[in-house]
Amino acid sequence: MKRVITYGTFDLLHYGHINLLRRAKQYGDYLIVGLSTNEFNKIKGKQCYFSYEERKKILESIRYVDLVIPENSWEQKIDDIKNFNIDIFVMGDDWKGKFDFLKDYCEVIYLTRTPEISTTKIKKDLNLKYEFI
């Protein structure tokens, strides 16, 4: 059984997220998602609309996702790869090269993002739309 892991915030879930999860699952039999906790998002300078618990429930309902685990720090990835016997680490290509150090532990694949959509774009568009109302 090939195990795949990816990480992210997955706030304001959109079709770009689904594309990424679907494509990540195609690399193996079991997909684990490391979901950034609210506390870790604060460290990253991100503020989520949905709580960790709400984002976790949403991810757990997606057929491509087999397990959701909390992402509490940048440093936990090596331990997760070892503890969950991960074969492949997958991230969006906007992170290209940033996780190459994990190649000592598993295969690292960067997937092309869906170019026309992102949570940042959604938040920006909503701010512009409601700024003029």
- Phi, psi for 4 (deg, rounded to 5): -120, 145
The residues annotated with a catalytic role in the active site are 44, 46
Tokens of residue 73, six digits = 């720090």
Give the C-alpha separation, 19 to 21, whole Å. Answer: 6
Give the C-alpha separation, 61 to 90, whole Å. Answer: 20
